[in-house]
Amino acid sequence: MSFASAQNYRFVYEYKMKPDVNKKDSIITDYMNLDTDGKNSYFYNSTKYERDSTYSVTKSYKDLLSAKSYDQNLSYIVEKDYAKKAMNFYDKFKTVNLLIPDNETPKWKIEKEFLKINNINCQKATANYKGRIWEAWFSKDYPVNDGPYKFSGLPGLIVSIKDSENDHAFNLIQIKKIKGIFSLLPKSTKQMTFAEYKKTMNGFTFSNDDIESMSINKQAGKMDIQLKDGYIAQLGLDDIKKNPKLDEEITKRLRRTNNYIERN
């Protein structure tokens, strides 16, 4: 595959994460896209983007319900500006768009170890970044000095990366040329630090004011609740009967991970 600065590419990563530090056998598997035009890149959840793109055109609640689901922890976007060596982390808390600027990139140690991953020639690199020790395998076959999440700065594309405790792991599974890259950044945002972001997310409580719309499917035995942040929460009617306090049940279901990629 030949790369040119004027072309747009999408790198699709399989992402496995353990959302609960107290339940290491609980694993979420989802798929994240890294779009780049050679100047900027955007890392985001592929299912959420497809759903939001469709909804922005149709404004159809039915389309939201029929779309694939994604994990609430993976609603964020990471934007990188290659020239400025700057990053922006975006997420949403209820109706507020959050922005966390970040210029700290990993300080890599490139190792003399080589491995072929899915027929891609890779070299090993390690870093202590954001409170975790990371092992990455990158390839110079692709002249894109980027990778999933905030990982960048290696002389090539990151093909695989995981932390030493296997809490978070990204593996490249697809590369494709695309016509246009990600284009759904929020226009108005509230800026904060990552520590403030985690405190905000961990303090989440649900109330009826958070509901945009609701539907009950008795035949399927479930309730779908569209929140004002766009997320669709699905609850089993049997679960609701067991816990008639709906606010408490939804709060428990939607509380964010306590096992963030960034520990510090």
Residues 176-224 have pLDDT tens digits of 999 999 988 998 999 999 999 999 999 999 888 998 888 888 888 888 8
User: Is the pTM value of this prediction over 0.95?
Assistant: no
pLDDT at 6: 57
168 Ramachandran zone, left/alpha/beta (phi>0; psi -120 to 50): beta
**What pLDDT does residue 176 have?**
94
pLDDT above 90: percentage of residues in the chain:
62
Q: Are the C-beta atoms of 188 and 97 separated by less than 8 Å?
A: yes
pLDDT at residue 83 is higher than 80: yes
Separation CA 129–CA 138 (nearest Å):
17
Chain segment 107-138, per-residue pLDDT in tens: 999 999 999 999 999 999 999 999 999 999 99
Evaluated on CA atoms 167, 168, 174, 180, the torsion sign reads positive
Tens of pLDDT, residue by residue over 13-65, are: 999 999 998 888 889 999 999 999 999 999 999 998 888 777 677 766 666 66
146-184: per-residue pLDDT in tens?
Answer: 999 999 999 999 999 999 999 999 999 999 999 999 988
Q: What pLDDT shows up at residue 4?
A: 47
Closest CA to 37 of 5, 66, 79: 5
